[in-house]
Amino acid sequence: MTVRQAEDRSIPFLMHQIVGRVEALVNKWARPLGLKIEGVRVLFRLLGGDRTVNQLARLTGVEISTLSRLLGRMSAMGLLTRRRDAADARSVIVSLTDTGRKMALEHRPVYFKDYEEVLFGGISDQQAVMFRELLVDMIANLEAADEEAKPGAGAPAARAANA
């Protein structure tokens, strides 16, 4: 039944497995709300305050054109509103409605606590802390790699030394 091979232990593969499983769980409880994982991310992100479409795209990792349409649907559901930014009329500011905020707050613990408890089951607090730090470091590494990949961009600066 279970197939084991070298690929099983590649980091991207393992992380994809975990993320995929967690997202499947999120989709399951989000479905009755009429949302999928992307919508859930938008909802929670907006708890941190109003955001432009662009900011939301970066925060949630959703393609901007996809996000634009998703926002339309969520707006039609009464979860959020869109309005032009008075200061910069190119931007659109997205805000939660009371309904949206209520929904987000209600389900917040599931997303931000329950899943971590499952993932960290049997793992010491010390290891959990280190794990989180490593993830942050990895994101920094990826960002640095992105910078390097850019042609004209300035000096790669402080890419973490491979020590």
Distance separating alpha carbons of residues 106 and 99, to the nearest angstrom: 11
- Closest distance to DNA from the beta carbon of 134 (Å): 27
3 state SS of 83 = strand
15, 64, 123, 128: which one contacts DNA (CB under 7 A)? Answer: 64
What residues numbered 62-121 form the site for a copy of itself, per CB under 8 A? 111-112, 115-121
- Pick between residue 79 and residue 111 the one whose CB is nearest to a copy of itself: 111
**Which region among 16-24, 70-78, 81-89, 91-99 touches a copy of itself (by CB under 8 A)?**
16-24
Q: Which two tokens stand for residue 60?
A: 């949630």
- Closest distance to DNA from the beta carbon of 31 (Å): 8
Nearest by Cα to 100 from 51, 40, 20, 157: 40
In DSSP terms, 84 is beta-bridged to 92
Nearest by Cα to 40 from 56, 51, 53, 55: 56
Pair 27, 36: CB distance under 8 Å = yes
Q: Applying CB under 7 A, does 80 fall inside the site for DNA? A: no
- Closest distance to a copy of itself from the beta carbon of 25 (Å): 8
In DSSP terms, 51 is beta-bridged to 94
Site for a copy of itself, rule CB under 8 A = 3, 5-7, 9-12, 14-23, 26, 44-45, 47-48, 51, 55, 59, 61, 111-112, 115-124, 127, 130-132, 134-139, 141-142, 144-146, 159-163
